[in-house]
Amino acid sequence: MPKKPLILDPSEIDTSRVIADIEEIRKYNPQRYEMEQLTAICYEDPERAICVGYKDLGPDEFWIRGHFPGMPIMPGVIMCEAAAQLASYYTMKYKLMKSPMVGFGGLQDVRFRGVVRPGERFVIVARLLKVRSTMMTCEFQCFVRQNLVCEGVILGVPLSPEAARADSGSESSSQSQSS
């Protein structure tokens, strides 16, 4: 599958201009501890429905020891999780879905084009394509040092914390939403 046109030229992204730090992100995203995959938001364009954030990868990321011993690289599923958290942040900040949370609904057309290592800044660019009451669709592209390393489409679904807690003991819920 050929690369899609860039959502934003990565050479024009200024990650030093932080508009939302981790405390601000936490107002919109429920992930905490090792599942927080965003360090900051550095760009928002509500007219074009574009948001840019990043994750600074430290030497103590939870996946380093096992993926892979002696050659740590960021797992693709964590790259997708970071992109999903950026899409969720944007959707919740601008109240685009009438739901207290956005859950992971699926992925489409995901491609991994490079590796991401500890010590690097993983930059995520997301553009909201469609929002309905039951689903949002968002394309994403991820970069390290202006090189495209991952791209795809995320589907987000409205998620109620009460429903998630009530269903946590059922076998079907543990199989359907593992992110």
**In the chain, where are the structural domains located?**
15-176
Question: Residue 55 contacts by C-beta under 8 Å, 6 or more apart in sequence?
Answer: 37, 38, 39, 82, 121, 122, 124
- Of residues 57, 114, 51, 60, the one with CA closest to residue 83: 51
DSSP 12: G
CATH topology of domain 15-176: Thiol Ester Dehydrase; Chain A (3.10.129)
Confidence of residue 167 (pLDDT cuts 50, 70, 90): low
Q: Tokens standing for 138?
A: 């968002």
Q: For residue 176, is pLDDT > 70?
A: no
- Of residues 130, 124, 174, the one with CA closest to residue 156: 130
Confidence of residue 165 (pLDDT cuts 50, 70, 90): confident
pTM: 0.89
**Which residues are designated catalytic?**
67
